[in-house]
Amino acid sequence: MVRTFLQSCFLVALMAFSTLATATPVGDPCPKTSTSLEWSAGCFEATQAGRRVMQQYMKKLVFDRKGFAAVIITSPAELVAVNRRGHVVAPSTDNLSGFIFEPSDEVIAQFGYVVPTVKKEGKFKCGFYRNGPEFKVMVPPVYDQCDDFFDGKALVCIGCKNYCPGGDCHRTDFIGGEGLIITAANMVLGRFPLPVLPRCPHGTAKQTKELTCRQ
């Protein structure tokens, strides 16, 4: 069930913002994969065996312990796994260490990917896939938090955190950063700042079990 807070965000954003074009890579068309930025389809070349990363961009690939790199491609949206020879293979839990893919009854469902970074814990990103016989990325994993689709739209956010107002976490909200309302084609319908937690009183110890204020 979509939260009351998220429904309010939908209404506010849709009334306040006009339709925006889908985000495209800026600057380097083939950035280092550890940045989780999208690649241009022009970074690849066709071979008899399929697609392959062009030689000049091989140094931009950051491989996981299984020997694969995840590459997010824009226009059309796609997530692929690339082996150490630069060849493109289908993404799966078998060839991407940080790939979090859970079966779902929903037509469009969430998936996550932990982007390899210099820190051991990595960086979690989420996106959406179309449920069917074959895994198909609808929205690449470029967002920090994602909510389920409702009436063809979903709330996602960048620079945000998931906040549990209560200890049981039956209901969660997104706080901090920027909220975006997107379609299944990753078209941005609206952008808006998300609410932030109040600052903790001076001298208050940082709380770890339940987030109620920020320092």
Strand partners, 174: 162
Domain that holds residue 138: 22-143
Contact residues for 211 (Cβ-Cβ < 8 A; gap 6+): 161, 163, 164, 197
Confidence band, pLDDT 50/70/90 cuts, at residue 98: confident
In the predicted model, is pLDDT for residue 1 greater than 80? no
Sheet architecture: strand order including 188-193: 145-146, 154-158, 178-182, 188-193
Q: Are residue 13 and residue 34 in the same domain, yes or no?
A: no
Confidence band, pLDDT 50/70/90 cuts, at residue 88: very high
Q: Are residue 34 and residue 14 in the same domain, yes or no?
A: no
Q: Quick one: pLDDT at residue 120? A: 58
Q: Pick the last residue of a domain from 89, 109, 143.
A: 143
Q: Are residue 35 and residue 117 in the same domain, yes or no?
A: yes
Q: Are residue 137 and residue 210 in the same domain, yes or no?
A: no
Mean of pLDDT values over 100-109: 80
Q: Are residue 1 and residue 27 in the same domain, yes or no?
A: no
Q: Are residue 79 and residue 115 in the same domain, yes or no?
A: yes
Round to whole Å and give the CA distance between 84 and 194. Answer: 40
Q: Are residue 30 and residue 82 in the same domain, yes or no?
A: yes
Mean of pLDDT values over 192-210: 67
3-state secondary structure of 82: strand
Q: Are residue 133 and residue 90 in the same domain, yes or no?
A: yes
Q: Quick one: pLDDT at residue 154? A: 94
Does the residue 59 lie in any domain?
yes
Largest CA distance in the chain: 65
Q: How many domains does the chain have?
A: 2
Q: Are residue 41 and residue 114 in the same domain, yes or no?
A: yes
What residue has token string 């140094």? 59
Confidence band, pLDDT 50/70/90 cuts, at residue 144: very high
What would the pLDDT profile of 120-142 be if each residue is shown by its tens digit?
567 888 999 887 777 778 888 88
pTM: 0.68
Angle (nearest 5°) at CA 104 between 92 and 25: 55
